[in-house]
Amino acid sequence: DQQVKQNSPSLSVQEGRISILNCDYTNSMFDYFLWYKKYPAEGPTFLISISSIKDKNEDGRFTVFLNKSAKHLSLHIVPSQPGDSAVYFCAASGVRQGAQKLVFGQGTRLTINP
Amino acid sequence: NAGVTQTPKFRVLKTGQSMTLLCAQDMNHEYMYWYRQDPGMGLRLIHYSVGEGTTAKGEVPDGYNVSRLKKQNFLLGLESAAPSQTSVYFCASSYSNVRDTEAFFGQGTRLTVV
């Protein structure tokens, strides 16, 4: 049972345009979400996060939007740059049994074309 | 600044062989995690540790054992490898267990069981 879903395995965007990556979740108990970026042969690195008490969080070119009623979040990258080409994972975060538990989506491979 | 280091980066095992994956972090983090990543799936939590000398089961613990004898090291063991354990393994660490904590990942270990 995939609790966090990224339904687009891949996305191709022209340099300078907006990239929109989507993520859906099923468990309404999730109240914090993070986006991680992963380059080939490297581990994921934290990109941006959002709490369920907000509907938007912005950090430079990256903005994450949260629609709780739809159980949907999206990551916007504007303008897209070639260095943004990577796999992006969204994750729902919770605390159980004394540790942070991250539930990851399948990932979306973003390719920025020059 | 090394961060999280995994050893080895690649390994090929025969069915039934055993091996240990080593994760070392130099950030003095209390919390450490082992994940596996399979095609079309997000990262899934195998085992985790909330401090030196502690371990606990994650989402997919069967076939794996772990130990955290020193705070900076978290070992993942496969006693009798199976082809279903072919995967990319990621270790992560974090300084806190709250839901907005950023996890730091190693570069991954690609394991193939033949």
Q: Read off the pLDDT of residues A71-87 as tens digits, 9 standing for 90 and up.
A: 999 999 999 999 999 99
* Residue B40 to residue A9, Cβ atoms within 8 A: yes
- What amino acid occupies position B111? L
Cα→Cα distances B31→A56, A86, B63, Å: 29, 27, 22
Task: Provide the token pair at A73.
Answer: 């979040």
End-to-end alpha carbon distance in chain B: 36
Question: What percent of chain A has pLDDT above 70?
Answer: 99
Sequence length of chain B is 114
Most A-contacting residue of B99, B107, B110 (CB-CB within 10 A), to test interface? B99
Question: What percent of chain B has pLDDT above 70?
Answer: 99
pLDDT of B67 higher than 90: yes
A94: confidence class by pLDDT, cuts 50, 70, 90: confident
Cα→Cα distances A32→A39, A63, A103, B85, B100, Å: 24, 15, 11, 30, 7
Q: Tell me the C-alpha distance between A85 and B65, whole Å.
A: 35
- Residue A4: closest CA among chain B residues belongs to which residue? B42
Task: Give residue A53's Cα distance to chain centre.
Answer: 17
Question: What percent of chain B has pLDDT above 90?
Answer: 88
A15/chain B closest Cα distance in angstroms: 26
User: Taking residues A11-35, what's their average pLDDT?
Assistant: 95
Rg (C-alpha) for chain A, rounded Å, is: 14
- Across the interface, of A34, A41, A89, the residue whose CB is closest to B42 is A89
Give phi and psi for B101, each to the nearest 5: -75, 135
Query: What is the rounded average pLDDT for all residues in chain B?
Result: 95
What is the reported pLDDT for A98? 79
Weakest mean pLDDT among A59-68, B16-25, B94-103:
B94-103
What is the reported pLDDT for B1? 62
- Across the interface, of B43, B56, B98, the residue whose CB is closest to A104 is B43
- Residue A33: closest CA among chain B residues belongs to which residue? B100
- Across the interface, of A9, A43, A100, the residue whose CB is closest to B94 is A100
